[in-house]
Chains A and B, each alone.
Chain A
Amino acid sequence: MIPDEYLQTFVVECKELLEQMEEALLIVEQAEQDPEIINAIFRAAHTIKGSAGMFGLDPVVEFTHAAESVLDRVRSGEVAMTSVLAALFIEAHDHLKELIGHVAEGSHPAEATDNHGKTLIARLEAYLGETPAEQPGNSGSSDNSGEMPVIQTANVEREHSDAVVGTDLWHLSLRFGPEVFRNGMDPFSFVRCLASLGSIEELVTVIDAIPAAAQMDPESCYLGFEISFSSDADKLAIDSLFNFVRSDCFIRILPPRSKASEYQRLIQELPEQEMRLGEILVKCGTLTPEELDNILRLQSQHGDAPQRPIGEVLVEQQMVSSPVVEAALAKQQQVKDNKKSEASLIRVDAEKLDELINLVGELIIAGAGTNLIARRAGMAELMESTATLSRLVEDVRDSALALRMVQIGGTFNRFTRVVRDVSKELGKDIDLVISGGDTELDKTVVEKIGDPLTHLVRNSMDHGIEAAELRLARGKSAKGTLRLNAYHDAGSIVIEVSDDGGGLNKEKILNKAIERGLVAEGANLSDKEIYNLIFEAGFSTADAVSNLSGRGVGMDVVKRNIQALRGSVDLDSIEGQGSTIRIRLPLTLAIIDGFMVGVGNASYVIPLDMVVECVELNAWASDEGDGQYLNLRGEVLPYRRLRDHFVIDGDMVQRENVVVVRYGEHKAGLVVDKLMGEFQTVIKPLGKLFSSEKSIGGFTILGSGEVALIVDVPGLMGQIEHEREAGEVVPFTRSGVVMH
């Protein structure tokens, strides 16, 4: 029985491979005939088959084998990768995903799934039938399924000699000198040593050098080996095995994927006849017959030159090694580099990361406490040391948070498939354009943004982008475009879903809203307000309800999901030209750089990313009378006294300050008593009791052990706006906030 954790790893790896495969297939479906991409698909299938075999998952192996065989034909150019075949592979991919899903759950696939798999295998095998008889060394045959596949060069007609011979195996050519036995060594002991470094896939003992009985000295060694060898060891390790016999032996080691010209040279160097050697190499599985033909043909082209004196050949034999070795080393380095980048990734349990972040949070709070004590004690040295400490803690915090940051590209790329499927379903031709995929955000946010984003994408495709005829009638190209974009802005990440469709119809939305009683008749709403009505519960303007969207559930759910992440969503639209939905999310949910302010005896933290500037009230900005707006260097700035908002008692201070905050396109001023500076803030969530309080986003613990509330700027702005519209001020009642 295989331990669960290995199976877990297998499932995770398979899922990743399947994702890569899907991505590649979608590219191929767009008629891109890039051999690299076909190779990528093949490798994914092959790896899945290999690991599934290790776990004895026969249905997966059987199915993948069928797919792999066809892919192999595609790679060798025998079968063309048409979009029909690509679509079949996408189906195969889906089936495989389902099978892996069953493996993950430990359940057995339903009979229908099995039958579907059989149909798919039959359809795949239909592609195999059209091609000529099985070739030796072709991994499509089942007898050598244990071996690494031999990759055929895509085009047999290729003329240049620097084609890479596509095997994943090392090739070793060994010819032992006559003195080997007398020096007390047995060639087979080297073979056995070699087996300890990897696995010998195929070994051919070369006995051609054994002379006729009369001339044969039974104590001289005449043997040689041609070995194909699979190993992760590096060249040095393999090479060093032969240290003892190097002086009187001929040893050539070709790393995996060496150039054809290197094999050509190898054949030249070896004492046996070319044809005989070629056969041996084919038998070893190092070369395919086609590759051999190519090499031999090249050989004969050079063979026109007059026979060179043996001395020159010998000199060359010494010389020759340098370019080959160099090339081999370069290859080696590349393999090593690849391995390095592989090795530099580790899978970490997300819970462990959370634990780390928690600890860092505690560290920050403890650090703040130490800071405070140092300042009170007034010891300059201690203060200096705590300053260094807090700088380091800050760095630790940043790197801990960076660990949880992932690029949004992975999420975006999933939509390639969604767009493909949905556009087929809708009969629309839609292109997906992705940008800003390298924008990073917290993993927990990424996980939760998938569903709302899917909804928005489907919605845009269904309602946004018009049918081709209508598009043409409107003078647009028949092909619709959907864009996904992401970028960082003021401590948030902005994700945009935009389409070049029909845009929103203001009239229609407004009428619907009035009909549903969401808006009073005759209300004067701005364009933006009208557009954002579609995020209200129970709202849908779609004339026809499709199974994609239009059932009136969705947009409000999207909005709620995003708000749960402390984010916001809004919509821009130009009728006839398209619309853009903008989701704004905080970068992280755990720790922020805060700006601490004092009001009365209480401290509040404002997220530093949102703070634009601080000015003194009355000196630089003044209230011109209505108690709602300030004149900030000629700019109209809505403002609010936190003292009023949170109903704080205590004496007014003489000089009040204004903290100007920005969120998205809105700016506002918050009037506070004291500016206390930057403060690293570990966000602790408030209890359910405060969930209706929009202007508070959480709380944090100060170094002194006191509690400071974190101002939720977007929430506060929303509340201010809401109250202004309602024309009444609902003050925050502070009676419940007592925490120790």
Chain B
Amino acid sequence: MANVKNKKQQPGRIAITGELTIYTALELKDQLLTGLAEAEELELDLSEVGEIDAAGLQLLVMIKQQAAVSGKALSFTGHSPVVLDLLDLSGLAGFFGDPLLIVRKPL
């Protein structure tokens, strides 16, 4: 079960752990929007995302756009391998504009 890590939660920083998929999208949406509303600058730590699907990706797009609309700074950090993989596949890395550590998979 994925969730926002509430322990050692600090303002302006949310770590998503476990799944970022259709199964968790509904609750994550609210948590992310709340998190964004509460801070001027938000950092989303994706280092512990173990699974991500299109719904999860869509959610990230949504929150990024919402941040832009409300004029807040949002950044994603510490992309886990599955996140990197999907960003690479979708070609959306440029849209998010976060610095990524590109790891080329051996062919």
Q: Which residues of A contact B (CB under 8 A)?
A: 181-182, 186-188, 191-192, 202-205, 207, 210, 212-213, 216, 218-219, 221-223
Q: Chain B interface residue count: which class?
A: 20 to 34
B89 touches A222 (CB 8 A): no
What CA separation (Å) do A207 and B58 show in the bound complex? 8
Top 10 A-B pairs, shortest CB-CB distance: A218-B25, A205-B90, A213-B66, A218-B29, A181-B22, A187-B54, A186-B53, A207-B61, A181-B55, A186-B54
Contact of A188 among B26, B28, B69, B86 (CB under 8 A): B86
B58 touches A212 (CB 8 A): no
Select from chain B the residue with minimum beta-carbon distance to A227: B91
What CA separation (Å) do A182 and B54 show in the bound complex? 12
Does B101 count as interface, using CB distance less than 8 angstroms?
no
Instruction: Enumerate chain A residues within 8 angstroms of B39, measured Cβ to Cβ.
Output: none
A219 touches B25 (CB 8 A): yes
* A213/B90 contact (C-beta < 8 A), A181-B55, A218-B28 known: no
What CA separation (Å) do A207 and B29 show in the bound complex? 17
B22 touches A203 (CB 8 A): no
* A221/B54 contact (C-beta < 8 A), A202-B91, A204-B91, A210-B65 known: yes
Which of B52-107 touch A at CB < 8 Å? 53-55, 57-59, 61-63, 65-66, 69, 86, 89-92, 95
Select from chain B the residue with minimum beta-carbon distance to A283: B91
What CA separation (Å) do A125 and B105 show in the bound complex? 36
Minimum C-beta distance from A578 to chain B (A) = 64
Determine the main DSSP class of A at the interface with B: loop
Minimum C-beta distance from B25 to chain A (A) = 4
Determine the main DSSP class of B at the interface with A: helix
A188 touches B66 (CB 8 A): no
Select from chain B the residue with minimum beta-carbon distance to A180: B54
A218 touches B26 (CB 8 A): yes
Instruction: Enumerate chain A residues within 8 angstroms of B33, measured Cβ to Cβ.
Output: 213
Instruction: Enumerate chain A residues within 8 angstroms of B29, measured Cβ to Cβ.
Output: 213, 216, 218
Select from chain A the residue with minimum beta-carbon distance to B95: A207
What CA separation (Å) do A204 and B95 show in the bound complex? 11
Instruction: Enumerate chain B residues within 8 angstroms of A203, measured Cβ to Cβ.
Output: 89-91
Q: List 17 A-B contacts (CB under 8 A).
A: A188-B53, A192-B89, A202-B91, A203-B89, A204-B91, A205-B91, A207-B58, A212-B69, A213-B63, A213-B66, A213-B69, A216-B29, A218-B28, A218-B58, A218-B62, A222-B58, A223-B57
What CA separation (Å) do A212 and B29 show in the bound complex? 12
B66 touches A219 (CB 8 A): no
Select from chain A the residue with minimum beta-carbon distance to B27: A218
Minimum C-beta distance from B3 to chain A (A) = 15
Instruction: Enumerate chain B residues within 8 angstroms of A192, measured Cβ to Cβ.
Output: 89
What CA separation (Å) do A383 and B18 show in the bound complex? 85
* A205/B92 contact (C-beta < 8 A), A187-B54, A213-B62, A223-B54 known: yes
What CA separation (Å) do A192 and B85 show in the bound complex? 12
What CA separation (Å) do A204 and B58 show in the bound complex? 14
What CA separation (Å) do A531 and B66 show in the bound complex? 96
What CA separation (Å) do A218 and B26 show in the bound complex? 6
With A216-B62, A219-B22 already in contact, 4 other A-B pairs whose C-beta atoms are closer than 8 Å: A187-B54, A218-B25, A218-B28, A218-B55
What CA separation (Å) do A191 and B92 show in the bound complex? 14
Instruction: Enumerate chain A residues within 8 angstroms of B69, measured Cβ to Cβ.
Output: 212-213
What CA separation (Å) do A490 and B18 show in the bound complex? 85
Which of B9-23 touch A at CB < 8 Å? 22
What CA separation (Å) do A210 and B86 show in the bound complex? 18
Instruction: Enumerate chain B residues within 8 angstroms of A202, measured Cβ to Cβ.
Output: 91
B22-56 interface code vs A (CB 8 A; 1 in, 0 out): 10011011000100000000000000000001110
Instruction: Enumerate chain A residues within 8 angstroms of B55, measured Cβ to Cβ.
Output: 181, 186, 218-219, 221
Instruction: Enumerate chain B residues within 8 angstroms of A205, measured Cβ to Cβ.
Output: 57, 90-92
What CA separation (Å) do A182 and B55 show in the bound complex? 10
B89 touches A210 (CB 8 A): no
What CA separation (Å) do A186 and B89 show in the bound complex? 13
Minimum C-beta distance from B53 to chain A (A) = 5
Among A182, A204, A218, A222, the most chain B Cβ lie within 10 Å of the Cβ of A218
Minimum C-beta distance from A713 to chain B (A) = 66
A210 touches B58 (CB 8 A): yes
Instruction: Enumerate chain B residues within 8 angstroms of A187, measured Cβ to Cβ.
Output: 54
B89 touches A218 (CB 8 A): no
A223 touches B58 (CB 8 A): yes
Minimum C-beta distance from B46 to chain A (A) = 17
A212 touches B66 (CB 8 A): yes
Contact of B54 among A181, A204, A212 (CB under 8 A): A181
* A207/B92 contact (C-beta < 8 A), A188-B54, A218-B55, A223-B54 known: yes
Instruction: Enumerate chain B residues within 8 angstroms of A207, measured Cβ to Cβ.
Output: 58, 61, 92, 95
Instruction: Enumerate chain B residues within 8 angstroms of A191, measured Cβ to Cβ.
Output: 89
What CA separation (Å) do A186 and B52 show in the bound complex? 10
Instruction: Enumerate chain B residues within 8 angstroms of A210, measured Cβ to Cβ.
Output: 58, 61-62, 65
Select from chain A the residue with minimum beta-carbon distance to B26: A218
Minimum C-beta distance from B96 to chain A (A) = 11
What CA separation (Å) do A442 and B69 show in the bound complex? 78
Instruction: Enumerate chain A residues within 8 angstroms of B22, measured Cβ to Cβ.
Output: 181-182, 186, 219
Instruction: Enumerate chain B residues within 8 angstroms of A188, measured Cβ to Cβ.
Output: 53-54, 57, 86, 89-90
What CA separation (Å) do A182 and B66 show in the bound complex? 24
Instruction: Enumerate chain A residues within 8 angstroms of B92, measured Cβ to Cβ.
Output: 205, 207
What CA separation (Å) do A203 and B95 show in the bound complex? 13
Minimum C-beta distance from B37 to chain A (A) = 10
